[in-house]
Structure 1
Amino acid sequence: MSNVTSNSPSASNAVKPLDQGEEAVVRALHRVIHALPRAMDAELLREQGLPLVEYLTLMNLSETPGRRLRMNELAATCGMSLSGMTRVVQKLEAQGFVQRIRCEQDGRGWNAVLTDSGLARLEQAWPTNLAATRKYFLDHLAGLDLEKLAAAMRKIAT
Structure 2
Amino acid sequence: MTSTDTALRHRERVAVARLHALLELLPTALDKRLSDANLTAFEFTLLEALQEADAHRLRLSALASRTNATLPRLSRVVTGLERKGLVTRTPCAEDGRAFNAVLTTAGLEAFESTRPLHADAVREMVLDGMTEDEVDLLADLALKILGRLDPDRRLAVTASLGAECAADPAAAECAADPLPADDCPADPAQA
Is the pair's TM-score, using the shorter chain for normalization, greater than 0.5? Answer: yes
CA distance in 2, matches of 1:37, 1:130: 14
What residue number does 1:30 align with? 20
SS state at 2:128 partner: helix
Question: Residue in 1 aligned with 2:53?
Answer: 64
Q: Which runs of 4+ in 1 moved over 3 A?
A: 16-19, 140-144
- Which residue, 89, 93, 109 being the options, matches 1:104? 93
For structure 2, the residue ranges without an aligned partner over 5 or more in a row are 148-191
Which region of structure 1 is more displaced relative to structure 2, 123-132 or 60-69?
60-69
Instruction: Provide the secondary structure at the position in 2 that maps to 1:38.
Output: helix
What's the offset of the Cα at 1:142? 5.2
Structure 2 residue aligned with 1:54: 43
Question: Which has the larger share of helix?
Answer: 1
Q: How many residues align?
A: 146
Greater relative contact order (Cα 8 A, min sep 6): structure 1 or 2?
Answer: 1
- State the shift of 1:78 in Å: 2.1
Identity of aligned residues (%): 34
Residues 72-122 of structure 1 show CA distances to partners (whole Å, capped at 9, x for unaligned) of 221232232222222211221222211111111121110001122211110
Mapped to 2, the partners of 1:143 and 1:112 lie a distance apart of 35
Larger radius of gyration, structure 1 or 2?
Answer: 1
| Structure 1: tracts of 5 or more residues without a match | 1-10
Q: CA RMSD in A?
A: 2.2
Q: Name 1:7's counterpart in structure 2.
A: none
Which residue, 74, 80, 90 being the options, matches 2:79? Answer: 90
CA contact (8 A) 2:31 2:41 kept: yes
